[in-house]
Structure 1
Amino acid sequence: MRRLCRFTAGFSIGCAACVAHFRSGAYLLAAIAAALCVLALGFRKQLHLQRLLPALLGLSLALAWCGVYRAVLLRPIEAFCARQQAEISAEVLEYPTSSRYGSAVLVCVEAEPRSIRAVLYYSSDETLLPGDRVTCTAKLRAASPDNLERDEYYASRGVWMCASAKGELTVEAGTRSLRYFPVYAAERLKRVCTQIFPADAAGFLQALLTGDKQNLSYALRNDLSRSGVYHVVAVSGMHVSLLAGLVMLLCAKKRVLCAALGIPLVWFFVLLTGANASSVRAGIMQTMLLVSGLVRRERDPWTAFSAALLVLLAENPWSLRNVGLLLSFASTGGILLFSKPLYHAMVDSKTYAHLEDHHPFLARGLRPGITATCCSLASSAFSLPICAVYFGVVSVSGFVTNALCLWLISLIFSAGLATAAASCICLPIGLGPGWLIGCAAQLVLGVIGAFSRLPYSAVSLDNPYAAVWAVFFFCAVWVICLQPKRLRASLTLGCLAVTFALCMGLSALDYRSAGFTFTALDVGQGQCLVYTADGETSIVDCGGVQNESGELAARYLEGNGVFRVERLFLTHPDADHCNGAAQLLSRTRVDTLYLPLTAICEDGAMLRGIREAAWEAGTQIKFVREDTEFLAKDGC
């Protein structure tokens, strides 16, 4: 079965080459060259060369498949969109979501020779339901695999057309169909979550159970990211494994019954949560593991891992640009390789053996935390550089937060899913358990919030000193994973702590030694100016991308050892100058907020949020009535 692993490795390399470098004319030549290599090696008798055959075969098939994929599937879409604007008729596939362009909905557009999966943007107040038929005049644009800088989001998700409605939509109500039952069930489950769980935990629990993060505030998303547990609200292997574990527990591990109930339930859950790359990967792997138990074959997780990747790449080779797919497979690969050796190294250590002898109950209670720590370390071996490249941030507190919270989050997910499912049938059933689950979720959110607010809980790699430490951290993770029994935990943690303190200390020293700095942060369409002189820091405006501009300013200050801002000036209450101020006030201590006098009369949602954030942070608010000069300590 390991031949499948080698074949999938070659297929993945071929897809990566096509996605990253090749244009349409090079696919056929590359496929022919790889096929000739396969034929040449086929006549050789050396064993080590024979082992390369599956990989080379996978490479040649990937190159050929990418060429066929473009010619057969993508060229007709490009031809259809060449009209740029046309009247289209489409079937709604999901419930609409809000976007920066109004509303967006996934549709299936009628076209020749086959229907096209597309995203339809519209600004009208029409209520659309899955199964409805929509007719409108729309501006069309094909998502091009040759322009991934613009179209990466759509291409990596298998959406090859964007349509923007011009004018009103004509909607014909559809009939309810079993085809859309998972979509209806997901919507029902989301509504139930808001009814049975406490309001301050409902958004988190809805994201945990269904993967829908629309009701997560930016502050909570940022806390989850900084504390290294954002992965729990992206439906993945953890969720599917827990669901399969519940089935096995109810079926008393009877193989036939587990497979008969588990496989349909797992795939219903995958469809219910949107069938993203990580959940599909987990569904395929769990299905193969259940089937292997049914036919009494040895369970080989690497075969299941390879089959899942092969299916996803065959369905859409450009899904390799989907960061969710990359993180899912990178984390799973690390766990399969390193989690068991790490776990055995920890539980076989002298410290743990001493604890077992003298405090057996405490030792057993620590096992869930040890398991979570081992999985976090193992998954980081491959996922850490992906996170660094895509997000530019490394969570320093992630291992500790996962060790403390992951076991409880697993219990919350299992109990929450069972309670929400029962409440979909009879709502009162879940009111009592929902309150208890909500209390547990609030405890988890409290721990996550506490860790995210710690200085240097996460570091931005825009800071060169932090980037150097991140490289050292990555190397240390690999050394721990490869030699878990030879390393002393205290020595390893001590080295990481000393190097981190040294890098951050040098960063702060370098920033303060300049005496005077004036920095214009890249916040997009907006302004954020940071001025530091004689040990005092002032910020002029904080606008750009909603909330993200404030977070960017907070990360910049934290990376340079600045944890106090003396003055924040907002020159006028426009979004491109103010819409990140509330996030900055919640993340960094600001002594005084200066607002223009005209802001007294304005009562928009943005200014209300800024004032509330200032009051909660204890920041003094002053209104500037006339031209005013502010001098630093040296009089400048």
Structure 2
Amino acid sequence: MTHRDYAWLAPVAALALAAGIWIGRSAAGWLVFIPLLLCAAAACWLLRWPQRFAAVQAVVLAVGCLLGYAAYHPSLPREGEYTVSGVVAEEIRLREDGQVRTLLRGVRLNGQSLLSGAYWSFYLREGETLPEGLAPGCSVTLTARVYHPSPASNPGGYDFREYLLQKNVTIGVYGVEELHTADGWHPLGIAAAIRHSLTQGLISAMGETAGGYASTMLLGSQHLIPDEDRQAFSRLGIAHILSVSGFHVSVLAGLVNWLFRRLRLSRKARFWSSGALLAFYCLLAGLSAPVIRAALLFLLYEFGALRHRQRSSLHLLCVSFLAQLLVSPVQLTSMSFHLTYGAMLGLTLVTPWLCSLWEPRRFRRVWSTLCAALGAQVGVLLPGLYWFQELPVLGILLNTVVLGAATGLIILCWVVLFLLPVPALATFVGQLTAGLMNGMLVAVGEMSSWPGITIWTCQGGLLTAAAWAALLLAMSWWWPGRRRWLGLVLSVVVLAASVYPWPDTGSRYVQLSVGEADAAVLQDQGYHVAIDTGEDGEELAGYLHQRRISLDALVLTHLHTDHAGGVAELMSRDIPIKTCYLPWDALETQADEDVMDMLAELAASGTELVELGRGERIELPNGSITVLWPEAGKVRQEQEANESSLTLLAEVRGSTLLLTGDLSGTYEMYAAAPADVLKAAHHGSENSTSQEFLQAVAPEMLILSCGDEARSLSMEERRGDIPMADTRRDGCITIEFQTDGFNVETMW
């Protein structure tokens, strides 16, 4: 076995481990992987090279499967009430609705230690303040309910469970009864207290806005960045500036290395000193996975230099990839993991070839910087298309300019941080830095509003990944010279085709899981209708954005925030809406003031507002939507908006679907009509969807959009023998319409 053969073990093993973890993530059990591991291990012992190479990769694959299953299916304590103790290891975040949330480490449940952390949340009453003594780093003991965090309940939706697993958190804790606080001594708690103190110092020296950004870029305090600013950076393809990543760690490592060189430390002393400082920084950042990744890469490179060994960037990348996944397999599905290794892969494979295309006598550094920016952009192309469904038009140019500006700002922010013991000097430098940072924020906000600054695409899939891999190879030194441009053109064409919004010829109804709210999408051969938006609109906007869906119609059954509050999110995500349909006389009846303001903004953006009443229709390519309620003259203006909920009978490919909004039992018989599928009214409330109404509609299937267990149980008692799908229990509900009937599928 030659050195070249050994060299190829790491890249292939990295792919095998990732594939194994992915398989284990969705596996139903782990025992099936044991025979694979034993057979592969025996083959490693018995076979010779090159067959042994394949056997080694089979071992890595089997190990990945076992690690993936264990990481994504951890053993959990039973749900219920416990005496919980732990140390607050993160900033305490307070939402506008009064929700308080943070992370606990060193958790004990009824005195029994938990190996992982806990996500702790509770609500403050109106006018109530945080409990005395509750701060980052403190120890807490309380009585609370332990629950298991839920996975994604909608296709492509936010997976809260995996997000917590990536932070080594496996349970949720809700409540604040019998709370006692004391000083805590957990390392991550102490780091959180230091981080909180430094953040307050930066805000004091630089102002709330600039100080918040400085804390985010140095310490990873993500909660200090407004959502609209985050979206602006994302639209320009520079969102990585806002989270501590390899770029930020490389700036710090460069500063440290420069300082140690000035102190004339030996290479060995520089290595160990840098390692100690980076280890402390990782702890200070809360053992953030991106920080650990970047620190590991830097130390591996420096270790190679220390031992005078040839350093292959690709192999160093693979070694760090393997090390990270062996320690924390759940990082495989992390967005930051994809962006980090995508960018590094682009820098490793693409940048050298780009630099070889032209060797200018002047401005070599400028050219190499542009090549590095382009290489990184090619590397993050796939993660960007998958996570954001956007292709920044000016990404390459902006990355070159912004990275230079951000490097200077980060250095200045570190200077301010180290000057905090001298308040006057820290404030002077801090205000100078704040002025520069605010100027950058104004420029980013202005550029992000330019029309056409990004290309909106569909979410990337397996074909996109294959085309991206081919593009990387075509732009690397591995590809044969004569066929390079052919491979380059073909990979770009396939990549573009894979994210193009091809017409959808199917017909389906998708009832999204949005808790005690309502949001759905009816698709019929390329015609798209959203029925209600949910309270915040995030799930609906995410579903539409991932599929590059523009709305031909938005139907708001009534103007309560749990049905119409998400209009603002649709507008902020730039989802085009041709027409918005409202119940008859809705703008004059009772409605939430915030919803009225959103409708005014929607109309100002060019969307037509149309009121509907009984008998009116919306035509579909393979059917129609008929309004059954409200009927003019039947509802008094002073009555609750629920009583005027639009009730719709959708006929698609011969099947019928009755949608009832929040209509109560007082008026529901006016809207009763036979239907194949019935969506229960008002989230299953006892005051709606009576047995008389069920008998009149006689549905084959009942669906319920609900987040409350009591309402689900109430609907279970009334439904009789009618099959029911419930978003609280089943997640997103999808009904596929065909000419010979319909099929119902659920997320869980």
Give your verdict on TM over 0.5: yes
| Greater strand proportion | 2
Counterparts of residues 609-624 of structure 1 (less than 5 Å)? none
Conserved? CA contact 1:84–1:140, under 8 Å: yes
Counterpart for residue 370 of structure 1? 371
Cα contact 1:520–1:527 (8 A) shared by 2: no
Whether 1:159 aligns to 2:154 is no
Q: How many residues align?
A: 585
1:271 equivalenced with 2:283 (yes/no): yes
For 1:434, give the aligned amino acid: T
The 2-side partners of 1:568 and 1:13 are apart by: 41
Distance in 1 of aligned mates of 2:194 and 2:140 = 22
Once the 2 structures are TM-superposed, how far is the Cα of residue 173 of structure 1 from its aligned partner?
1.3
Rounded to whole Å, the distance in 2 between the matches of 1:502 and 1:299 is 36
CA RMSD of aligned residues (A): 5.1
Map of 2:429 onto structure 1: 430
CA shift in 2, pair 1:279/1:502, >3 Å: closer
Q: Partner amino acid for 1:414? A: I
Q: Which amino acid aligns with 1:90?
A: G
Q: Matched residue of 2:372: which SS?
A: helix
What stretches of structure 1 of length at least 5 have no aligned partner? none
Deviation of 1:475 (Å):
5.2
- Contact 2:137-2:190 at 8 Å conserved across structures: no
Q: Who is 1:5 aligned against? A: 10
Distance in 2 (CA, whole Å) between partners of 1:392 and 1:370 is: 24
Shift in alpha-carbon separation, 1:548–1:113, aligned structure 2, 3 A:
closer
Q: 1:491 to 1:437 in 2, by over 3 A?
A: farther
Q: Which amino acid aligns with 1:172?
A: T
Matched, 1:242 2:251: yes
Alignment of 1:501-540 (within 5 A): 524-525=513-514, 526-527=518-519
Partner Cα separation in structure 2 for residue 6 and residue 625 of structure 1: 61
Letter in 1 for 2:162: E
**TM-score, L = length of structure 1:** 0.73
Counterpart of 1:280 in structure 2: which amino acid?
Answer: I
Q: 1:172 to 1:520 in 2, by over 3 A?
A: same
Deviations 1:208-241 (A, max 9, x none): 3333322333333333333322233232211111
Secondary structure of the residue aligned to 1:573 is coil
| Deviation per residue, 1:146-177 (Å, 9 max, x gap) | x9988433334432333333x51422311567
1:454 corresponds to 2:452: yes
Whether 1:317 aligns to 2:317 is: no
Secondary structure in 2 matching 1:432:
helix
* Sequence identity percentage: 18
Is 1:333 the counterpart of 2:345 in the alignment? yes
The SS at the match of 1:370 is helix
Match of 1:140 among 137, 140, 146: 146
**2:440 alignment partner AA:** A
**CA 540–501 in structure 1, closer or farther in 2 if over 3 Å, else same:** same
Higher alpha-carbon Rg: 2
CA distance in 2 between counterparts of 1:593 and 1:83 reads 43
Given the alignment, which residue of 416, 421, 442 partners 1:419? 416
TM-score by length of 2: 0.63
Contact kept in structure 2, 1:6 and 1:55, CA below 8 Å: no
Deviation at 1:449, TM superposition (A): 0.8
Q: Residues 83-113 of structure 1, C-alpha deviation per residue, up to 9 Å, x if partnerless? A: 7433233333333335796524223222687
- In the alignment, does 2:116 pair up with 1:121? no
User: What's the counterpart of residue 679 of structure 2?
Assistant: none
Which of 108, 113, 129 is the equivalent residue of 1:110?
108
Residue in structure 1 matched with residue 692 of structure 2 by the alignment: none
Shift of the 401–548 alpha-carbon distance from structure 1 to 2, 3 Å rule, reads farther
Offset at 1:416? Answer: 2.9
SS in 2 for 1:228: coil
User: Which whole-Å CA distance do the structure 2 matches of 1:307 and 1:472 have between them?
Assistant: 25
Could you tell me how far 1:40 is from its partner in structure 2?
1.1
CA contact (8 A) 2:88 2:136 kept: yes
1:601-629 CA distance string (max 9 Å, x none): 8555x655665x569x6669999899999
| Structure 1 residue 479 corresponds to structure 2 residue 477 | no
Assess if the C-alpha contact under 8 Å between 2:474 and 2:485 holds in 1.
Answer: no
Deviation track 1:289-347 (CA, whole Å, cap 9, x = no partner) reads 233434444444445434433433333334434343344334423432332222322x3
Q: 1:190 aligns with which of 177, 184, 199?
A: 199
* 2:116 counterpart letter in structure 1: R
Q: Paired residue for 1:36, among 19, 42, 53?
A: 42
Query: What does residue 703 of structure 2 align with?
Result: none
SS of corresponding position for 1:90: strand
CA distance 1:369–1:407, change in 2 (3 Å): farther
Deviation at 1:599, TM superposition (A): 7.9
The range that moved more, 518-527 or 581-590, is 518-527
| Unaligned 5+ runs, structure 2 | 1-5, 124-129, 620-625, 627-748
Please say which of residues 472-481 and 237-246 is displaced more in the overlay: 472-481
Output the CA distance in 1 between the equivalents of 2:188 and 2:173.
Answer: 24
Residues 179-219 of structure 1: CA distance to partner in whole angstroms, max 9, x if unpaired?
A: 64432232234334444446666655543333332233333
**Equivalent position to 1:285, from 286, 297, 306:** 297
2: distance between equivalents of 1:260 and 1:408? 30
Rounded to whole Å, the distance in 1 between the matches of 2:167 and 2:345 is 22
Query: What residue number does 1:405 align with?
Result: 402
Conserved in 1, the CA contact under 8 Å of 2:81 and 2:146? yes
Deviation at 1:547, TM superposition (A): 4.8
Q: Which residue of the other structure, out of 94, 104, 113, is the alignment partner of 2:90?
A: 94
> Which residue does the alignment assign to 1:18?
24
- Residue range with higher mean Cα deviation, 92-101 or 102-111: 92-101
Change (3 A) 1:309 1:468: closer
| Cα distance, 1:365–1:215 mapped onto 2, change above 3 Å | same
- The whole-number CA distance in structure 1 between the counterparts of 2:149 and 2:522 is 39
Which amino acid in structure 2 is aligned with residue 35 of structure 1? A
Q: Closer, same or farther in 2 for the Cα pair 1:591/1:307, shift >3 Å? A: closer
Question: Structure with the greater relative contact order (CA < 8 A, sep ≥ 6): 1 or 2?
Answer: 1
Deviation digits for residues 394-419 of structure 1, max 9, x if unmatched? 42524454344333333333333333
1:377 to partner: Cα distance = 1.5
**Residues 11, 315 of structure 2: 8 Å contact kept:** no
Q: Is the Cα–Cα contact under 8 Å of residues 416 and 437 in structure 1 kept in the other structure?
A: no
- Tell me which amino acid in the other structure corresponds to 2:86: A
> Partner amino acid for 1:25?
L
Deviation at 1:64, TM superposition (A): 7.0
8 Å contact from structure 1 (residues 94, 107) kept in 2: no
Query: What residue is the counterpart of 1:85 in the other structure?
Result: 81
Q: 1:214 aligns with which of 199, 220, 223?
A: 223
Distance 1:163 1:584, change over 3 A: closer
**Distance in 2 between the 1:591 and 1:296 partners?**
65
> 2-side partners of 1:143 and 1:435: how far apart?
39
Contact 1:90–1:133 (8 Å) recurs in 2: yes
The CA deviation at 1:372 is: 0.9
Report which of the two has the higher share of helix.
1
* Matched AA of 2:237: G
Decide whether the 8 Å contact of 2:536 with 2:566 is kept in 1.
yes
Q: Deviations over 1:252-279 (max 9, x none)?
A: 3753453344223322332333323222
Q: Deviations over 1:350-397 (max 9, x none)?
A: xxx4xx5xxx46x754543332112212444xxx1x5545x3714252
Q: What is the one-letter code of the residue matched to 1:155?
A: L
Residue 244 of structure 1: CA displacement? 0.8
Query: In 1, are the aligned partners of 2:351 and 2:374 still within 8 Å (CA)?
Result: no
Partner SS for 2:191? helix
The 8 Å contact of residues 134 and 169 in structure 1, kept in 2 or not, is answered as no
Residues 579 and 211 of structure 1, relative CA distance in 2, 3 Å threshold: farther
